[in-house]
């Protein structure tokens, strides 16, 4: 059993709301991670094609606003339709370099009509196969103005060498029941993706590691005011109230004892790597295992609905 995994954390800015150019940037970092012999490379929340930063700085809650409609339409046009093969080249690189990938995308789901958006975390295995697409269960605050709530279909774990890996989007990581659903499936390498801020990753990364006695990898994006393309609809309005730094990174890795392997990396783009050892999981589960010897399923138990939600159920005759 190979107990060691090298993880690459791609803390990068998208080519904001431009899916073609962002895909090219993602591919570049996959190749870099592959050449550095990483077994897994992780990208931040909604990186492809970018986080909806405009909402909080352009009065995103104004109802029936032409400005908001036009920016949103631009976002929709640059979102990802997985069923159409838009991640095909990324999958091919995963297979070529035999590297697993967690990638945050904004998904325009065909089974929900093809017009609403979901913040999704895609897992691609080392053979280049998409094994799960987890749609964020509950968008946070202003995110609800542009993203739709997801379902439990993507609450899955996957084998990766000696490890069992699973992942959640941003503040989903504060939701104790989805975390537990992953723990109960054997997760021992937890991936948490974020738009980018050490204020988010600093406390919860170590907390989840201590709670689960697992390795926790938090990967954030990076974004400055210079990363808004000038061809973006209503560019001047967006940058008018924008801070200089919108996402400062904060990618990090904590071990099953809750101690840092890599503390939060702040203020720079790049591929940051670390090695984790499954042996450490076995050691730390000795004194606590919240879904094993330290659980009481006869008293408390969780129900998980993994059905992919849709308004249409076709009955063939």
CA angle 138, 265, 125 (to 5 degrees): 60
d(CA 44, CA 48): 9
Catalytic residue status for 301 = no
Mention every residue, 6+ apart, whose C-beta is less than 8 A from residue 209.
190, 215, 216, 254, 255, 256, 257, 258
SS3 207: helix
CA angle 39, 42, 44 (to 5 degrees): 175
Candidates 170, 187, 206, 210; catalytic one: 170
272, 9 Cβ separation under 8 angstroms: yes
Catalytic residue status for 252 = no
Candidates 19, 45, 91, 107; catalytic one: 45
The DSSP symbol for 307 reads P
Catalytic residue status for 136 = yes
Mention every residue, 6+ apart, whose C-beta is less than 8 A from residue 106.
46, 48, 49, 50, 75, 78, 79, 80, 117, 118, 119, 120, 147
Residue 77 tokens, joined: 């046009």
Contacts 24+ apart (CB under 8 A), 291-300: 291/180, 291/183, 291/184
Catalytic residues: 45, 136, 170
């Amino acid at each position: 059993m190979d107990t060691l995994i090298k993880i690459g954390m791609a803390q990068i800015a998208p080519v904001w709301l431009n899916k073609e150019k962002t895909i090219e940037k993602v591919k570049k970092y996959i190749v870099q991670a592959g050449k550095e012999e990483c077994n897994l490379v992780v990208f931040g929340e909604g990186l492809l094609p970018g986080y909806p930063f405009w909402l909080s700085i352009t009065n995103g809650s104004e109802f029936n606003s032409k400005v908001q409609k036009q920016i949103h339409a631009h976002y929709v046009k640059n979102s990802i339709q997985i069923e159409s093969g838009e991640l095909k080249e990324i999958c091919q690189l995963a297979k070529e370099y035999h590297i697993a990938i967690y990638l945050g995308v904004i998904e325009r789901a065909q089974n929900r009509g093809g017009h609403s958006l979901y913040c999704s975390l895609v897992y691609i295995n080392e053979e280049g196969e998409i094994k799960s697409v987890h749609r964020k269960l509950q968008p946070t605050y202003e995110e609800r103005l542009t993203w739709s709530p997801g379902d439990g279909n993507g609450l899955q774990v996957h084998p990766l060498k000696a490890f069992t890996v699973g992942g959640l989007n941003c503040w989903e990581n504060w939701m104790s029941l989805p975390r537990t659903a992953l723990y109960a499936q054997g997760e021992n390498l937890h991936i948490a993706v974020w738009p980018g801020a050490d204020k988010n990753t600093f406390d919860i990364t170590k907390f989840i590691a201590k709670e689960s006695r697992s390795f926790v990898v938090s990967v954030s994006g990076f974004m400055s005011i210079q990363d808004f393309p000038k061809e973006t609809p209503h560019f001047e309005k967006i940058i008018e109230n924008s801070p200089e730094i919108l996402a400062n990174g904060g990618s990090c890795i904590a071990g099953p004892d809750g101690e840092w392997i890599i503390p939060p990396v702040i203020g720079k783009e790049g591929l940051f790597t670390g090695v984790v050892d499954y042996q450490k999981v076995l050691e730390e589960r000795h004194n606590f295992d919240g879904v094993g010897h330290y659980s009481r399923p006869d008293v408390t138990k969780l129900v998980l609905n993994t059905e992919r939600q849709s308004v249409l159920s076709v009955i063939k005759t």
